């Protein structure tokens, strides 16, 4: 894998740069309830030296009924300043699953106009397996100024996705498991219908990853999209259960140089809730 501080860096790259004064490392671990893991407790016990904990559920739009929707820019600014993350920093984000929720926070920084941000390839499991240092001390935080410029083109709401589904001018790509996509397995969130957005294609997020939680090379990523019959000459909207694993596909599209892709923030948590929106199964 080639290191790119704007998308994905290796554990070796991070180990080499860990003491850089302008590096900021974020632990963005987040788990579904059925995973039985406590991200905050795990962070308190052990994390990459200097890492700050990024709470996906708290640094979100709490006015929304939907889970962890992107926060308003003002809230993002205040949380990042308090965490000592700001302008001029190279940010590296990881999670405790290898590659699960880190890409969501990477996308969030991109949404806010920050581009010197990368996901740690293989995450904390790979870092630990290779014997790199860990600590249990919280970092010393100093306020840091941060400017943001929200990039509206990187996010979609339900109206835009419904229009895209109707017109067929975008590829809507769903990162959920094939069984959930086909409507054969119940959704983890109660009260949601089963199935998928009409006309959407299924690229399970794991198909762009290797067994060790690292991202496949560009040929492997392209093959995963090709296997699902995704036309990459079209703009792509990524979606999933609640906008977390959709960001893995967004990152994968960035890695292969795809130029026009966005993320449906409400994802199935929103689409599956409204009876007037059509659902396909099978």
Q: What is the DSSP letter of 188?
A: S
Instruction: Report which secondary-structure segment, H or E, holds 268.
Output: helix 267-271
Which tokens sit at 206? 């794991």
Let me know if 194 is a catalytic residue: no
Q: What is the DSSP letter of 228?
A: T
Report the side by side order of strands in the sheet with 236-239.
Answer: 155-156, 261-264, 236-239, 171-174, 201-202
The b-or-e profile of 155-194 (16+ CB within 10 A means b, else e) is: bbebeebbebbeeeebbbbbbbbeebbbbeeebbbeebeb
Cβ atoms within 10 Å of 196's Cβ, excluding its own: 23
CA separation for the pair 237, 165 (Å, rounded)? 10
Q: What angle do CA 39, 42, 48 make, to 5 degrees?
A: 105
Catalytic residue among 192, 236, 240, 249: 240
Instruction: Report which secondary-structure segment, H or E, holds 42.
Output: helix 39-45
Which tokens sit at 217? 């090379």
CA separation for the pair 263, 63 (Å, rounded)? 20
Is 124 buried (19+), middle (13-18) or exposed (0-12) by CB count in 10 A?
A: buried
Active site members: 240
């Amino acid at each position: 894998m080639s290191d790119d501080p704007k998308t994905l860096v290796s554990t070796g790259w991070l180990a080499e740069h860990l003491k850089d004064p302008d590096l900021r490392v974020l632990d963005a671990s987040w788990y579904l309830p059925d995973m039985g893991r406590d991200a905050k407790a795990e962070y308190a016990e052990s994390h990459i030296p200097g890492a700050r904990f990024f709470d996906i559920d708290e640094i979100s739009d709490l006015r929304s009924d939907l889970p962890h929707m992107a926060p308003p820019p003002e809230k993002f600014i205040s949380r990042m300043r308090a965490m000592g993350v700001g302008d001029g920093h190279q940010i590296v984000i990881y999670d405790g699953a290898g590659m699960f929720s880190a890409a969501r926070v990477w996308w969030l920084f991109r949404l806010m106009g920050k581009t010197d941000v990368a996901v740690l390839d293989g995450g904390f499991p790979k870092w630990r397996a290779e014997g790199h240092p860990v600590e249990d001390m919280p970092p010393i935080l100093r306020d840091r100024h941060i400017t943001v410029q929200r990039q509206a083109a990187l996010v979609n709401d339900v109206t835009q996705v419904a229009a895209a589904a109707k017109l067929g001018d975008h590829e809507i790509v769903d990162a959920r498991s094939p069984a959930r996509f086909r409507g054969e397995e119940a959704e983890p969130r109660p009260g949601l219908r089963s199935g998928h957005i009409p006309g959407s294609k299924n690229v399970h997020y794991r198909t762009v990853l290797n067994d060790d939680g690292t991202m496949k090379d560009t040929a492997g990523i392209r093959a995963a999209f090709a296997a699902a019959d995704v036309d990459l000459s079209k703009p792509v909207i990524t979606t999933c259960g609640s906008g977390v694993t959709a960001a893995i596909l967004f990152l994968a599209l960035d890695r292969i140089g795809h130029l026009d892709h966005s993320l449906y923030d409400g994802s199935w948590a929103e689409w599956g809730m409204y009876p007037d929106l059509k659902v396909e199964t099978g």
